[in-house]
Amino acid sequence: MVFEFIIAGLIFFTIIIYSINYLNFNVSDFKNKFYQNRLQSKAFQVSEILMAGRTNLSLTDGERFNASKIYFFNSTYCGDANYKKLAEAFYMYETASFGTLPNDIKIELSVPSSGFLLLDCGPRMPRNTTKAEVGRMGLYEGNVARLSVTVW
User: pLDDT digit string (tens) for 24-36?
Assistant: 888 888 989 999 9
CB under 8 Å to 141, separation ≥6 — which residues? 67
Among candidate residues 85, 101, 103, the one with its CA nearest the CA of residue 43: 103
DSSP state of 92: -
| Segment (H or E) for 150 | strand 143-151
Predicted local distance difference test score (pLDDT) of residue 104: 94
Predicted local distance difference test score (pLDDT) of residue 130: 92
Full-model pTM: 0.81
Tens-digit pLDDT profile for residues 78-119: 988 999 999 999 999 888 788 887 899 999 999 999 999 999
CA distance 152 to 129: 7
Amino acid at 43: A
Q: How confident is the model at residue 44 (pLDDT cuts 50, 70, 90)?
A: very high
CA distance 86 to 21: 42
Handedness of CA 113, 114, 120, 125 (dihedral sign): positive
Q: Where are the alpha helices (DSSP H) in 53-120?
A: 67-77, 83-89
